[in-house]
C-alpha cells in the first residue's frame, strides 16, 4: 500500500504546458524530455518537511516530433518480366497429383503465379486443375534523378507522418532536411504536434 509510480514521459518532446494536480514536478515548461523520463514524482513534502506518498496526477503537454525518412538512389536495379513464360499443368485429386504435363522451368530468375480451378463439369470427384506460370525475370538499371522524384518523396513522407497523428491532433509546423551523399539523397521530414505525454 501507498506505493505509487511516478508519471513518466510517454515519448520524446518539448514540454509546452503543465497542469499539476498533485505530486512533485521534476520538469518545467520548455524542458526537452525523452521517453521514460520522470515528470511527476509520487510524493509531496508536508508542513513538517517530511516526504508523504501520494498518487501523482497531472496533465502535461509537449511538442512532439514526428519524423519520416526516405532514401532515394538516382540509380537502382529493378527486376522486370521479359515476356517469356513456361506453363505447367497438373491435375490433383484430394491433394494428390494424378497428371503432370512435365513442363519444367529453365529460367535462371523468375516469379511464379499459381492458379487452381475446380473441374466440376460431369465430375463427382473433386478434381483440381493447377496451372503454374513461370515468368522469366531480367534486371535493368533505372536512372531517376532526385529532382524528378522529389514531389513524390515529399508527399510520401507527409502521408507517413499523417498516419502517426492521434485523433484531433493538428500539425503545428513542418520541416524538411535534404542530405546528399553520392547517388543517395536522404529526405528527413519532420512534423511538430502538440500531444499529452504524461497524465
pLDDT at 113 exceeding the cut of 70: yes
pLDDT at 120 exceeding the cut of 80: no
CB 186 within 8 A of CB 67: no
Cell 501507498, located at residue: 2
Taking only the tens place, the pLDDT of each residue in 33-71 is 999 999 999 999 988 888 899 999 999 999 999 999 999
Q: What is the pLDDT of residue 199?
A: 75
C-alpha cell recorded at residue 125: 470427384
Q: What is the pLDDT of residue 95?
A: 82
Taking only the tens place, the pLDDT of each residue in 186-195 is 999 999 999 9
Taking only the tens place, the pLDDT of each residue in 66-81 is 999 999 999 888 999 9
DSSP state of 6: P
pLDDT tier for residue 7 given thresholds of 50, 70 and 90? very high
pLDDT tier for residue 26 given thresholds of 50, 70 and 90? very high
CA R_g for the chain? 30
Q: How many CB atoms lie within 10 A of CB 72?
A: 20
Q: In the chain, which ranges are E strands?
A: 7-8, 13-22, 24-25, 32-33, 38-41, 43-45, 51-53, 57-73, 75-93, 96-100, 110-119, 127-143, 171-181, 184-198
pLDDT at 165 exceeding the cut of 60: yes
Listed in sequence order, the DSSP H helices in 63-178 are: 146-162
DSSP state of 151: H
Query: Whole-prediction pTM value?
Result: 0.64
Handedness of CA 24, 26, 27, 33 (dihedral sign): negative
Instruction: For residue 11, give Cα distances in angstroms to 14, 15, 34, 199.
Output: 10, 11, 6, 12
Q: What is the pLDDT of residue 126?
A: 84
What backbone torsions phi and psi does residue 123 show, to the nearest 5 degrees? -125, 130
pLDDT at 2 exceeding the cut of 70: no
Amino acid at each position: 500500500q501507498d506505493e505509487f509510480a511516478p508519471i513518466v514521459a510517454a515519448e520524446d518532446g518539448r514540454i509546452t504546458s503543465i497542469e499539476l494536480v498533485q505530486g512533485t514536478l521534476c520538469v518545467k515548461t520548455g524542458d526537452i524530455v525523452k521517453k521514460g523520463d520522470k515528470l511527476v514524482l509520487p510524493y509531496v513534502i508536508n508542513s513538517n518537511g517530511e516526504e508523504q506518498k501520494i498518487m501523482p496526477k497531472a496533465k502535461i503537454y509537449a511538442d512532439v516530433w514526428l519524423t519520416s525518412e526516405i532514401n532515394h538512389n538516382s540509380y537502382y536495379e529493378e527486376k522486370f518480366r521479359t515476356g517469356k513464360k513456361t506453363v505447367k499443368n497438373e491435375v490433383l485429386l484430394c491433394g494428390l497429383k494424378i497428371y503432370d504435363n512435365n513442363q519444367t522451368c529453365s529460367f535462371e530468375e523468375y516469379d511464379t503465379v499459381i492458379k487452381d480451378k475446380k473441374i466440376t463439369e460431369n465430375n463427382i470427384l473433386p478434381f483440381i486443375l493447377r496451372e503454374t506460370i513461370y515468368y522469366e525475370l531480367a534486371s535493368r538499371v533505372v536512372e531517376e534523378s532526385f529532382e524528378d522524384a522529389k514531389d513524390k518523396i515529399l508527399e510520401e513522407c507527409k502521408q507517413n507522418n499523417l498516419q502517426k497523428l492521434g485523433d484531433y491532433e493538428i500539425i503545428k509546423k513542418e520541416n524538411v532536411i535534404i542530405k546528399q551523399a553520392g547517388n543517395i539523397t536522404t529526405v528527413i521530414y519532420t512534423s511538430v504536434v502538440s500531444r499529452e505525454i504524461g497524465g
